[in-house]
A and B are shown apart, each in its own frame.
Chain A
Amino acid sequence: MRRIYMDHSATTPVHPRVAAVVNRFMLSDYGNASSVHHFGKVAREALEDARSQVADLIGADSPSELLFTSGGTESDNLAIKGVAYARRDQGRHIITSAIEHQAVLHACDALEAEGFEITKVGVDGQGRLDPEAVRDAIRGDTILISIMLANNEVGTLQPIEEIAAIAKEYDVLVHTDAVQAVGQISVDVEALGVDLMSLSGHKMYGPKGVGALYVRRKTPLQPLQNGGHHERRLRPGTENVAGIAGMGEACLLAKEELAIRNQYLLRLRDRLIDGIMSEIPKVYLNGHPDHRLPNNVNVSIVGIEGESILLSLDMKGIAASSGSACTSGSLEASHCLLAMGLTHEVAHGSVRFTLGRDNRQEDVDEVIRELPAIVERLRAMSPLS
């Protein structure tokens, strides 16, 4: 069976160039970057090259503004808890949104249990935040605003630039979870004006288990962990040289092909959206029609469970998801879709197709061919319809 992978927001295939780099740093340049000898030097250079490659992709002033972590989750936790602890003397109020990834939401919950106060700003029916609502939430003791750049479920892009400009007026730091955005759309930390930004390697054709946190110079940050002198003591632990070099290569690749990748995916995305909307009755596109990741298609198919559709698709060799991979193990409706005001029933019928550079037009056409029949069959069986 030909397999079609359309779950790129859960994770992406590793690009062969990335795999080759990872392989090299396991097989021959395997040194510990802290060692003083030749092997250490080669490893250290690889780290610094990768740091420059990441910095270059996101327009950071200096590579020294990037810390390597174990992934998006750690970057989010480090940014939020790190700033909260470092600025706790100035205040204990943090603003976030209702549709953040669990890494942000649960890090905030943990801080709430320790006496911080969290305000979750809501979103509109298309998953967009109103910057003025953020302004209204700011208080004298607000120390941090954490709003994602692109949502992982519906792909809605947030007006981070405007939010950061508002935050600046009040001297509040801004973190953005850009895990889904980097490598998909052009992201520039200077243009955005954010102080901290989370990235994850495996969402951009790099390896799993490696991520980065952009920390603008002079941003106060307390480490989550103590240990050796690695990463300016802000993130101790022997550096995952192979993974980091792989992430650097993935950034280089993104930089090289971002413009074409973007256009290519947009074309596939719109073809898929148009196909689904015209072939299937009673479906809604979730998220924003324009402020949207170029690879995201999220639709609610009224009257059936997203999970049933996924299983049927899977039997046809098509990999998609309902909601985010992290929560797809649970049968709860997506917190993101509910925050957008969808009813439980509509939220339960959502399916997400996230495209990648390895998808072809024929893949899209196959989904458009298979999905209507699946929907018709499931609707005929469903007690809900």
Chain B
Amino acid sequence: MMTRGRSAPIIYLDNSATMRPLPEVVATVTETLQNDYANPSSLHEFGLSAERILTSTRNELAKFLGTESHKIFFTSGATEANNTILRGVAAAYSSRGRHIITTPIEHPSVLATCQYLETGGFEIDYLPVDDKGTIHPDDLSAKLRNDTILISIMAVNNEVGTIQPITEVALRLDALGSRRPFFHTDAVQAIGKIPVDLSRITIDGLSLSGHKFGAPKGVGIMFLNSPAALPPLLYGGGQEDGMRSGTENTSGIAGIGAAVNWLQQNQRAANEKMYQLRQYLGETLESEIPNCHVNGPPADAPIETVAPHILNVSFPTIPGEILVHSLAESSIYVSTGTACSSKAETTSRVLSAMGLAPELARSSIRVSFSYETSAHDIDALIDALNSTVPHLRRMTRYQQ
């Protein structure tokens, strides 16, 4: 909770759109900007010191993810990581086949890239999701073909928080032996929120974005299990082992290191706290506000089945945007669906794919927590909804 001027305290609950960098991260980024400004490729002592930041962050991150540091590449964000991997696999494997399997609930940086590949002659198959937003590995098995080269399934959905059965998918793919397609997962909403351990299963490519786990915007991570297999998206000086050219964003990368450090010590407790807040918020709203529905994983979903930081909830008859604006008047900031598509789309593609009735989809809001979110913040949101929802419903009824 923060205060802006003398007005009501600000309660920011749109952390899936972007999270305020952790205080430790801001300190590290600022310190790096001021003191370690050299180019990591430079041969002099200034440059070597900047290079050490890259090395140590890469090592920390590799340890955190259960992998090796030479498989980790820094990018400008997850959009770039998703594009590099999807376009790269399509280019490198097109002689083997042109069939790609994904889901209808992916982030636009995956979906739009698949649509782009479709215009280049690739065939895209979408796995259905159930009413909780989950895909089923049997559906994947049914769609797999000899010419399937790529499977891209997100680890956690950014609108409803559903966790996908990534481990089970990976195990099934292992059974395919040499016919195994490239398996990519967009784990942007998973890292820092649920355990991500690459040592136990085979994932070929994974994308992360700094600003969703307490690090700054403009820096992301691409994990590749067999780095040499894909062509890069950006060509140039050959940084990041040639997989991603461009002078490295050292301060942003140092920020990733600080965030990982923080997570190593605090993630478990922070996730449990967020999970309890999610459950408390969902259950309280459903019991106190008539005709209120939690979308996707229910309020009491077991911790291993839902990301702890996202609750998607509908208040039928009130359009989501209206509720978002109304809450903003009490300095409470939530969103409808994703930030990236909130301008472009009126109803959520994800909720529609889950088979939600149009009225539920239209009236949904997403509340997303950070490590800083407190029970006071959630109580303030509940109070605001308790007074706003009946009021807005009376008004929308007059309009109808």
Say if the beta carbon of A11 comes within 8 Å of chain B.
yes
Q: Is A35 an interface residue (CB 8 A)?
A: yes
B236 touches which of A101, A228, A329 (Cβ 8 Å): A101
Q: Pick from A37-45, A55-63, A164-172, A377-385 the stretch touching chain B.
A: A37-45
Q: Which residue of A lies closest to B107 (CB)?
A: A227
Contact A209 B76 (CB under 8 A): yes
Known: A13-B37, A208-B247, A238-B79. A36 touches B236 (CB 8 A): no
B18 touches A31 (CB 8 A): yes
Question: Is A70 engaged at the interface, CB distance under 8 Å to the other chain?
Answer: yes
* Residues in chain B near residue A313, CB distance under 8 A: 44
- A107: CB under 8 A from chain B? yes
Chain B residue numbers with a CB within 8 Å of A230 are 340
Q: Does B116 contact A19, Cβ atoms closer than 8 Å?
A: no
State whether the Cβ of A225 lies closer than 8 Å to any Cβ in chain B.
yes
Partner of B29 from A5, A11, A26 at Cβ < 8 Å: A26
User: Is A329 touching B41 in the complex (CB atoms < 8 A)?
Assistant: yes
Determine if B217 and A240 form an interchain contact, defined as CB atoms under 8 angstroms apart.
Answer: yes
Please name all residues of chain B whose beta carbon is closer than 8 Å to the beta carbon of A359 when the two chains form the complex.
Answer: none
Contact A73/B342 with A39-B14, A325-B39 known, Cβ cut-off 8 Å: no
Please give the distance in Å from B4's CB to the nearest CB on chain A: 8
Pick the interface stretch among A129-137, A273-281, A314-322, A338-346. Answer: A314-322
Collect the chain A residues with CB atoms within 8 Å of residue B231's CB.
110
User: Who on chain A is nearest to B46 by CB?
Assistant: A319
Q: How far is the CB of B131 from chain A (nearest CB, A)?
A: 26
Which secondary structure dominates chain B's binding surface? loop
Give the contacting residue for B246; candidates A16, A39, A70; CB below 8 A: A70
Determine if A7 and B343 form an interchain contact, defined as CB atoms under 8 angstroms apart: no
How far apart are the CA atoms of A19 and B29 in the complex, in Å? 9
Residues of A within 8 A of B (CB-CB), count: 76
| A23 touches which of B26, B42, B234 (Cβ 8 Å) | B26
Query: A319 vs B252: C-alpha distance in the bound complex, in angstroms?
Result: 23
Interface residues on B, range: 35 or more
Chain A residues closer than 8 Å to B233, beta-carbon distance = 77, 224-225
Q: Does B38 contact A (CB under 8 A)?
A: yes
Residue in chain B with minimal CB distance to A108: B235
One of B64-72, B168-176, B237-245, B264-272 at the interface: B237-245
Asked whether, in the complex, the Cβ of B235 is within 8 Å of the Cβ of A106, the reply is: yes
Within 8 A of A (CB), among B276-330: 321, 324-325, 328
How far apart are the CA atoms of A73 and B246 in the complex, in Å?
5
Q: Which residues of A contact B112 (CB under 8 A)?
A: 226-227, 236
For residue A318, which residue of chain B has the nearest CB?
A: B44
Q: Mark B224-258, 1 if CB is under 8 A from A, else 0.
A: 00000001011111110000011111111000000
Closest 5 CB pairs of A and B: A240-B218, A209-B249, A326-B237, A228-B340, A70-B76
Q: What are 24 A-B residue pairs whose CB atoms fall within 8 Å in the complex? A: A7-B42, A22-B251, A23-B26, A26-B25, A26-B29, A27-B20, A27-B26, A31-B18, A34-B340, A40-B17, A71-B246, A74-B246, A102-B245, A103-B236, A200-B247, A210-B249, A227-B83, A228-B340, A236-B79, A238-B217, A240-B77, A319-B47, A321-B43, A328-B43
Chain B interface residues toward A at CB < 8 A: 12, 14, 17-21, 25-26, 29-30, 33-34, 37-39, 41-47, 75-80, 82-83, 107-109, 112-113, 115-116, 209, 211, 216-219, 231, 233-239, 245-252, 321, 324-325, 328, 331, 333, 335-336, 339-344
Q: A10-B42, A209-B252 are in contact. List 19 more A-B contacts (CB 8 A).
A: A23-B30, A26-B25, A27-B20, A30-B19, A31-B17, A31-B18, A36-B336, A37-B325, A39-B12, A39-B333, A71-B76, A71-B247, A73-B234, A77-B233, A229-B343, A236-B109, A243-B217, A319-B44, A328-B43
